[in-house]
Amino acid sequence: MKLSIVLFALAVSFSVEASAQSFELPRPSPNAKLSQMAGLTEIAVEYSSPAVRGRPIWGTLVKYGELWRAGANAATKISFSKDVTIGGTNVPAGAYSAFVIPQQKGAWSFILNKDAGASTSAYKKEQDLVRVDVKPETIPLRERLAYAVTDFSNEAATLVLEWEKVRLSVPVKLGTDAQVTAAIKAMEDGAAQPYLSTARYMLEQKKDYDAGLQFVEKALAIKEDWLAVWTKAQLLAAKGNKKDAYPLAQKAQELGEKTPQRFFFAQDVKAAITDWKKN
C-alpha cells in the first residue's frame, strides 16, 4: 500500500514538472532574426524586440547620452559573411555586438564592438571597431523595435533600425566586384594548376619533355604566370632549344618581379638568362 502511494506521488510530481516545462507565455521582448543576402554578403541581425506599450522611450526608457544595446534582454548581434565597409572602416567578416548612443539633439552614435556577446554591462570601449554618427529620422509609430536591410544592390546596402518614431539608417559598402574578381582568379589558378604540376613532373621526374610541353601549353592557355612561362623555357632548354628558351626566361623574370615574394626560382631564372644568352 505504502509503495503504491509513493509511486502515485512520484507520477504526479513528474506530471506537474513536465507541465511546468511545457508551459509558456509570450515574452515582452521576443527574440528576432533577420538575414538578407546583398551581393555575395549575408547580413544577419539577432536581437530582442521590445514594444513601446504607451511608454515614453527616448530620453526616459532609453536615456540620452548613454549606451544602449540597440535591443532588449541581451546583446544585439550583427554578422557579415564577408568583409564590408562602414563609415570608412573595414569590417572583417564575422559577428559583432551593436550599440547606440541616442542624443536629444544632433546625430546619434552607432557602434559595432568586437565582442559579439557583450551587452551594456560587459561593454568595453577599447573593443569598438566602428563608431559612426547617424542622423535620426522621424517616422510613423513603430510599436516594436525592428531591423531591416533596405536599398541593397551588389555594391551597397542600408542597415535600418526602427522603434517608436525613430529610424536610424547605417550605410554599408559591399565588396562584391573585388570578391567576384578574386573568385574568378582562384578558379583560373585552380584550373591551370593540375596542368602545370603535371608539366613540372614531366620535366623533373619523367624527363618526358614533349609531354611536358603539351601540359604547360594547356596551363598557359588558362593563365599566363611566371612559373608556367619558366617551366616552358626549361622544357625547351632540356630539349636543346635554348634559343627559344631564352626569351621565355626573360619573360618569366619580368612576370616574376611583379610578385617578388612568390618568385622563388628568381636566381635560377637569372642564371639561365646569362647562360642561354650565349646560344
Q: Check residue 27 and give its pLDDT.
A: 77
Point out the domain boundary residue: 145, 174, 203.
Answer: 174
193 occurs within a structural domain: yes
Q: Check residue 210 and give its pLDDT.
A: 96
What percent of the chain shows pLDDT beyond 90?
78
223 shares a domain with 87: no
User: Mind listing the pLDDT tens digit for each residue in 73-100?
Assistant: 999 999 999 999 999 999 999 999 999 9
Question: Rg of the chain's alpha carbons, rounded to an integer?
Answer: 32
Q: Check residue 10 and give its pLDDT.
A: 45
Count of structural domains, the chain: 2
| Nearest one of 175, 103, 172, 94 to 136, comparing CA atoms | 103
Distances (CA, A) of 169 to 78, 86, 158: 14, 12, 6
Q: Check residue 13 and give its pLDDT.
A: 52
Average pLDDT over residues 50-72: 96
The grid coordinates of residue 112 equal: 559595432
Residue whose entry in the numeric block shows the C-alpha cell 566586384: 177
Query: How far apart are the C-alpha atoms of 274 and 279, rounded to whole Å?
Result: 10
82 shares a domain with 136: yes
Q: How many residues does the chain have?
A: 279
Distances (CA, A) of 30 to 47, 231, 233: 9, 63, 67
Query: How far apart are the C-alpha atoms of 232 and 76, rounded to whole Å?
Result: 57
Point out the domain boundary residue: 150, 174, 198.
Answer: 174
Spell out a b/e string for 250-279, using b for 16 or more CB atoms within 10 Å of the CB, else e. bbbbebbeeeeeebebbeebeebbeebeee
| Nearest one of 199, 247, 244, 246 to 220, comparing CA atoms | 199
Average pLDDT over residues 16-21: 53
Residue range of the domain that includes 130: 25-174
Point out the domain boundary residue: 124, 153, 174.
Answer: 174
CB of 253 closer than 8 Å to CB of 270 = yes
Coil, helix or strand for 247? helix
42 shares a domain with 57: yes
152 occurs within a structural domain: yes
Q: Check residue 106 and give its pLDDT.
A: 95
9 occurs within a structural domain: no
Mean pLDDT, the chain, integer? 91
165 shares a domain with 33: yes
210 shares a domain with 150: no
192 shares a domain with 148: no
Q: What CATH number did the domain enclosing 236 receive?
A: 1.25.40
